[in-house]
Structure 1
Amino acid sequence: MNRQQRIKLIENQLGAFDAGTIEFINQQWVFFDEETEEASLLEHHINQEVEVFREQSWQRGLLLENGKVQCDRKMISLFDGESIRIRKQLIYSLERLLDELKDEAFLYFINTLNSLHFSIHDCIYCYNHLTFLNGNEGACGVNFLIFDNEECICSIQHHFDYASSRSDRFEFTLSSGKRTVIEKIS
């Protein structure tokens, strides 16, 4: 699995976007999240990927200043009351952890998380111990992750041992008491 395939898998996860509408109020663009009904200034999302609903489809682009979106080779201006989606950013330590996982462990982790009704975008905390270890030496330790899908909490311990063989063990514990363990040794 190449980097592009991994990115595509992450991008297509549920909850990859904050969806809502925008309004031009007091000379500023304001984003109203349809799920939480919270308002925020659209300028906080400048240079992030957005999708604008136009002509019965979502048009992907990069949000620029003054309500402009760069879509491929054309520049579009936002309209008051328009529906947009703003791509959520993954927690940096989670991104680094996913990069460290071999393909099979990566797929096992994502598929198990999804089967428990969580998305990679539901991550609210990630302690990645791997970032503190020297990559040239045999690394072992535990990473801690917390996911919240607004119905349930999932705590994950990722036990890794990258000494002579490569071992990834994920222990998923839900707030309901359900537990799942997966392990990949290569």
Structure 2
Amino acid sequence: MSQQQRFKLFNRQSRAFSEGTVEYINHQWIFFDGETDEASSLDEYLNHDIEIFRSGRWCKGTIGENGTVTHNGQVFDLEHDESIRIRKQLIYSFERLLDELNDDSFFQFVTTLNSLDFSVYDCIYSYNQLTFLRTATTQSGVNFFIFDNGTLLCSVQHHFFYSVKEHDRFEFTLNTGKRIIIEKINA
């Protein structure tokens, strides 16, 4: 699986964006989250990916200072009460794990998570033990993740043993009691 295939899988994830509107209030751009009605300064999202709904379609860009958006090298201004969506950021330790998983384990993990109606963007807690073992010849331990899709919770334990072979075991447990275990061994 190439980086491009991983990128495509990320782009197909549900709940990848916070959607809402922007308003210019007291000389400051404010983002109003459509789901939670929370207001936050657009400055918190500087250099984040953004999509703006204009002319009946979503246009991609990057948020700049003072309500500017850069798209294909062009800079334009946001409009008051405009609909936007901002790509959510992954929890750092979870993102590191996804980057470090081999392609087969990555694909199995993400597709199983998706089959349970969870997205990688639903991760609300992450503990990545691998971060502390990077210099060890043999790496062994457990990582913990909790996902919340707004309806269900899912706890994932990632048991790993990396030496000559890479052994990954993911245990998914939903708050309904449903459990799925997948295991991947790579030479």
2:94 is the alignment partner of 1:94: yes
2:46 is the alignment partner of 1:46: yes
Q: Which secondary structure state, in structure 2, belongs to the residue aligned with residue 15 of structure 1?
A: coil
Deviation sequence 1:7-31 (CA, Å, 0-9, x none): 2311321011100011111111111
Mind listing any 5+ residue stretches in structure 1 that lack a counterpart?
A: none
Query: After TM superposition, which residue ranges in structure 1, 4 or more long, deviate above 4 angstroms?
Result: none
Shift of 1:3: 1.8
Q: How far apart in 2 are the matches of 1:47 and 1:101? A: 27
2:110 is the alignment partner of 1:105: no
Shift of 1:165: 1.9
Partner of 1:144: 144
2:60 is the alignment partner of 1:57: no
Q: Which secondary structure state, in structure 2, belongs to the residue aligned with residue 172 of structure 1?
A: strand
Pairs within 5 Å for 1:5-16? 5-16=5-16
Mind listing any 5+ residue stretches in structure 2 that lack a counterpart?
A: none
Normalising by structure 2, report the TM-score: 0.96
Q: How far apart in 1 are the matches of 2:101 and 2:64? A: 34
Q: Which secondary structure state, in structure 1, belongs to the residue aligned with residue 75 of structure 2?
A: strand
Q: Which secondary structure state, in structure 2, belongs to the residue aligned with residue 151 of structure 1?
A: coil
Shift of 1:55: 1.3
Q: Which secondary structure state, in structure 2, belongs to the residue aligned with residue 118 of structure 1?
A: coil
Normalising by structure 1, report the TM-score: 0.96
Identity %: 56
Q: Which secondary structure state, in structure 1, belongs to the residue aligned with residue 23 of structure 2?
A: strand
Shift of 1:134: 3.0
Shift of 1:125: 0.9
Q: CA RMSD in A?
A: 1.1
Deviation sequence 1:38-80 (CA, Å, 0-9, x none): 1111111111111111111111111011111001121111111
Partner of 1:165: 165
Structure 1 window deviating more from structure 2 (161-170 vs 77-86): it is: 161-170
Structure 1 window deviating more from structure 2 (120-129 vs 134-143): it is: 134-143
Pairs within 5 Å for 1:54-93? 54-93=54-93
Q: Which secondary structure state, in structure 2, belongs to the residue aligned with residue 7 of structure 1?
A: helix
Q: How far apart in 2 are the matches of 1:152 and 1:135? A: 37
Deviation sequence 1:87-136 (CA, Å, 0-9, x none): 11111111110111111111110011001110000001111111100345
Partner of 2:127: 127
Q: How far apart in 2 are the matches of 1:136 and 1:2? A: 27
Shift of 1:2: 1.5
